[in-house]
Amino acid sequence: METHISCLFPEILAMIFSYLDVRDKGRVAQVCAAWRDASYHKSVWRGVEAKLHLRRANPSLFPSLQARGIRRVQILSLRRSLSYVIQGMPNIESLNLSGCYNLTDNGLGHAFVQEIPSLRVLNLSLCKQITDSSLGRIAQYLKNLEVLELGGCSNITNTGLLLIAWGLHRLKSLNLRSCRHVSDVGIGHLAGMTRSAAEGCLSLEYVTLQDCQKLTDLSLKHMSKGLAKLRVLNLSFCGGISDAGMLHLSHMGSLRMLNLRSCDNISDTGIMHLAMGSLRLAGLDVSFCDKVGDQSLAYVAQGLYGLQSLSLCSCHISDDGLNRMVRQMHELRTLNIGQCVRITDKGLELIADHLTQLAGIDLYGCTKITKRGLERITQLPCLKVLNLGLWQMTESEKEYRGSFKPCMTPVY
């Protein structure tokens, strides 16, 4: 008997279709009725995010999404009312409105008029017209929200954070990148420092405060006291953060990833505070902190030897600093030392001798390294990523650059 793919049970077809990308999932539905029925099985679309341009009415759109079990939606352009989406998908779990510049408080207010218990993720990044008024609606009706993205929403103030602290007690991730009006007072609200007005978001695990210029070390004190579950903290470009603030962070036992990139007031003293505390960091980024030097590497070796990722781009470190650090860093997988112009072949030899688990290294702009040092680096058994941008090469070295072993993935 001759067997054909059309003889497969719908459940088997659905299992096969689940491995296709989103476009091909839609294409197989057009082949025949049997394939269409199989492709509409909810297991085929599990985890898929629908990307929509909302321009004109389409009565079949949301029933089709619901039939396939799709509960995650990204709106690429919004020319209809947001309430059209909310009414069409009452069980929506994730709503991404990032970059919908025409979304206003009024539009959001008309959409969120009753509780939406299924919604867990809301992305309003770069929705620049959104203000604290919208956060009031969100805090009132989206009680189960776990992820809130507000990056680039520059009209958000401390009042908005008070509303979040009042209503969103299940929040685990909050992005406030470039929210220029946010200050220590707002972070205090989130950390439960004003219990008489708001309980706080004490379940927060991921917080991004990049480029929030009004923050000082007081914010770090608030977080160290109230956010005991915090795992990832991004403070990059926060110029008001100083070494003294690191004392507060040094006792946050749950903290695993800390980004201090371009925090100009962080120096070797701040790294000392971090190393002498009870931190168990897996990742640390102090790139472009020009007061961080070789002494910091000695402190890292003493107290932060469990790091798996360390970024020191453009810091004033040298071969001597690497010599003081590498022997203790047995867990290190990623090392970024791009634009550290004092690093020479001697430093690369130290890395090759001791950081045997290294999978990625950034040497962008390290102008004092030569073919000799690179020969040692490329012998690392686990190395997969190597960035050599702006490396000054002779013609013979250019030929050598193309001869990396197959497991290497040079990134230029």
DSSP string, 257-305: EEE-TT-TB-BHHHHHHHHHTT---SEEE-TT-TB-BHHHHHHHHHH-T
Could you tell me where in the chain the CATH 1.20.1280 domains are found? 1-46
Mean pLDDT for 383-395 is: 71
Lowest mean pLDDT among 24-38, 48-62, 65-79, 120-134: 24-38
What DSSP character marks residue 50?
E
What's the CATH number for 1-46?
1.20.1280
**Lookup: tokens for 73:** 């939606």
Mean pLDDT for 384-388 is: 93
Residue pLDDT, tens place only, 182-217: 999 999 999 999 988 899 999 999 999 999 999 999
Instruction: Please state, in angstroms and rounded to a whole number, the distance separating the CA atoms of residues 242 and 245.
Output: 6
Q: Residue 262: left (phi > 0), alpha (psi -120 to 50), or beta?
A: left
How confident is residue 99, by pLDDT bands cut at 50, 70 and 90? very high
* CA-closest candidate to residue 191, choices 230, 217, 153, 241: 230
Instruction: Please state, in angstroms and rounded to a whole number, the distance separating the CA atoms of residues 166 and 145.
Output: 13
Residue pLDDT, tens place only, 149-163: 999 999 999 999 999
Cβ-contact 281, 309 below 8 angstroms: no
Instruction: Please state, in angstroms and rounded to a whole number, the distance separating the CA atoms of residues 231 and 252.
Output: 9
Query: Residue 49: pLDDT above 90?
Result: no
Q: So what's the pLDDT on residue 323?
A: 97
Lowest mean pLDDT among 11-15, 89-93, 242-246: 11-15
Q: So what's the pLDDT on residue 1?
A: 53
Instruction: Please state, in angstroms and rounded to a whole number, the distance separating the CA atoms of residues 282 and 331.
Output: 9
Q: So what's the pLDDT on residue 81?
A: 83
Residue 184 amino acid letter: D
Q: So what's the pLDDT on residue 405?
A: 40
Instruction: Please state, in angstroms and rounded to a whole number, the distance separating the CA atoms of residues 377 and 365.
Output: 16
What secondary structure does DSSP assign to 189-231, as a single string? HHTTTTTTT----TT--EEE-TT-TB--HHHHHHHHHH-TT--
Is the entire prediction scored with pTM above 0.95?
Answer: no
Query: Residue 372: pLDDT above 50?
Result: yes
Cβ-contact 331, 324 below 8 angstroms: no
Instruction: Please state, in angstroms and rounded to a whole number, the distance separating the CA atoms of residues 398 and 36.
Output: 54
Cβ-contact 379, 404 below 8 angstroms: no
Cβ-contact 163, 135 below 8 angstroms: yes
Could you tell me where in the chain the CATH 3.80.10.10 domains are found? 50-241, 290-411
Task: Select the more confidently predicted residue: 169 or 35.
Answer: 169
Residue pLDDT, tens place only, 166-187: 999 999 999 999 999 999 999 9
Lowest mean pLDDT among 89-93, 140-144, 261-265, 341-345: 89-93
Question: Percent of the chain, pLDDT > 70?
Answer: 91
Q: So what's the pLDDT on residue 408?
A: 37
Instruction: Specify the residue for token string 């909310």.
Output: 86
Mean pLDDT for 363-384 is: 95
How confident is residue 54, by pLDDT bands cut at 50, 70 and 90? confident
Instruction: Please state, in angstroms and rounded to a whole number, the distance separating the CA atoms of residues 389 and 394.
Output: 14
Q: So what's the pLDDT on residue 399?
A: 46
Topology of domain 50-241, CATH: 3.80.10
What mean pLDDT, rounded, does the chain reach? Answer: 89
Lowest mean pLDDT among 129-138, 193-202, 239-248, 253-262: 193-202
Q: So what's the pLDDT on residue 41?
A: 67
Helix axes 294-303, 268-276, angle to 10 degrees: 0
Burial of 106 (0-12, 13-18, 19+ CB in 10 A): exposed
Query: Residue 398: pLDDT above 60?
Result: no
Q: So what's the pLDDT on residue 50?
A: 82
* CA-closest candidate to residue 107, choices 78, 73, 87: 78
Residue pLDDT, tens place only, 271-285: 999 999 999 999 999
What's the CATH number for 290-411?
3.80.10.10
